[in-house]
């Protein structure tokens, strides 16, 4: 599989949160393509609510390209040092809009995964790559990893939001096909909104609609658990109520997860009362890395 990794800065440590999370997943035979995009203009004082023409300043693009060309080999060396074949690592520096360059490169190379870091500290870096995650999730055909710094090392604890649609099941099977070997524990979580569920015909004749939905969703989770055991046998099942995006983010924090996994879309009945369109919302999680899976 090929992973496109957005490199926002050309200084600091020669690694990124994305590289660390991807390495922790321990997916064999990943091809790393490191991309740094030089934006020709920056907004001085960003983020301001109102930006006038006087707030713009020209970026010395040539100088930034030179810095990137000096920095990316250090990142490449770090990836080699953690055991990746140097033939599986490539670098690229280009000029343009970082968000759209990542989408364009991913599509042109038919990448499996696009990786971006969520926590960009400096104002300039926030402008260059700060809102990339939402744009990339919305725009690419690939899966997207939005990474945050881990609080520990070792194998990953992950929460997977499951909506039981055919699309979600296919995306999870594709994830299994990546053969991630660095997962210690999985919490499989399905979330439904009881307000929507009470008016939903789920094909179950019961006075206790919520109880019937819970029972049916737990049965679906048990089916998902069976094939997810190819990743790890240590799996727990949870059926929860509430606003799906909020509940999943809270669950990732409560279960001390390193990674929250959701599927990008699906249009079945169970999805409408469970995950909905949460993928674009959970990437705003303040603490947990998020993997948005696509079956593309």
pLDDT the model gives residue 99? 81
pLDDT tens, 232-245?
A: 999 999 999 998 88
pLDDT level of residue 10 (50, 70, 90 thresholds): confident
pLDDT digits (tens, 9 = 90+) for 259-277: 999 988 744 444 444 444 6
Separation of alpha carbons 82 and 84, rounded Å: 6
Q: Which residues contact 202 (CB under 8 A, 6 or more apart)?
A: 209, 212, 213, 216, 269, 273
Q: Is 158 helix (H, G, I), strand (E, B) or coil?
A: strand
Residue-wise pLDDT for 61-102, tens only, equals: 778 888 999 999 999 999 999 999 999 999 999 988 888 899
Question: Could you give the domains of the chain?
Answer: 2-147 (3.40.50.620), 156-293 (3.40.50.620)
Residue 63 CA to chain centroid, in angstroms?
Answer: 31
- Please provide the size of the chain in residues: 296
Q: Are 252 and 238 in contact (CB under 8 A)?
A: no
Q: Is the pLDDT of residue 208 over 90?
A: no
> What beta strand segments (E) does the chain contain?
2-6, 31-38, 41-43, 56-58, 89-95, 113-117, 143-147, 156-161, 183-192, 235-241, 259-263, 289-293
Q: Is the pLDDT of residue 56 over 70?
A: no
Residue 244 DSSP symbol: H
CA 17 to chain centre: 12
Give buried/exposed letters for 24-55 (b at 16+ CB in 10 A, else e): bbbbeebbbbbbbbbbeebbeeeeeeeeeeee
Rounded to an integer, the average pLDDT of 24-44 is: 83
Q: Can you point out the beta strands (E) in 215-257?
A: 235-241
């Amino acid at each position: 599989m090929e992973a496109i990794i957005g490199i926002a800065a050309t200084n600091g440590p020669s690694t990124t949160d994305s590289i660390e999370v991807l390495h922790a997943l321990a997916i064999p035979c990943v091809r790393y393509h490191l991309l740094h995009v030089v934006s020709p203009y920056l907004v001085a004082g960003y983020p301001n609510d109102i930006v006038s023409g006087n707030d713009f300043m020209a970026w010395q693009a040539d100088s930034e390209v030179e810095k990137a060309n000096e920095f990316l080999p250090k990142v490449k060396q770090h990836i080699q040092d953690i055991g990746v074949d140097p033939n599986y690592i490539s670098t690229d520096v280009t000029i343009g809009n970082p968000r759209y360059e990542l989408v364009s490169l991913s599509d042109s190379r038919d990448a499996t995964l696009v990786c971006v870091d969520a926590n960009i500290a400096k104002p300039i870096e926030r402008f260059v790559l700060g809102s990339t995650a939402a744009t990339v999730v919305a725009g690419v055909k690939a899966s997207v990893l939005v990474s945050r710094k881990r609080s520990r090392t070792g194998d990953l604890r992950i929460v997977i939001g499951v909506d039981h649609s055919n699309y979600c099941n296919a995306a999870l099977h594709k994830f299994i096909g990546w053969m991630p070997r660095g997962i210690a524990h999985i919490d499989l979580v399905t979330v439904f909104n009881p307000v929507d569920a009470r008016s939903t015909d789920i094909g179950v004749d019961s006075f206790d609609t919520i109880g019937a939905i819970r029972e049916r969703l737990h049965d679906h989770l048990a089916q998902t658990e069976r094939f997810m055991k190819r990743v790890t046998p240590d799996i727990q099942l949870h059926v929860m109520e509430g606003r799906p995006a909020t509940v999943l983010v809270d669950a990732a924090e409560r279960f001390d997860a390193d990674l929250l996994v959701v599927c990008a879309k699906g249009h079945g009945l169970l999805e409408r009362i469970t995950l909905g369109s949460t993928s674009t919302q959970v990437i705003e999680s303040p603490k947990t890395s998020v993997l948005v899976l696509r079956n593309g």
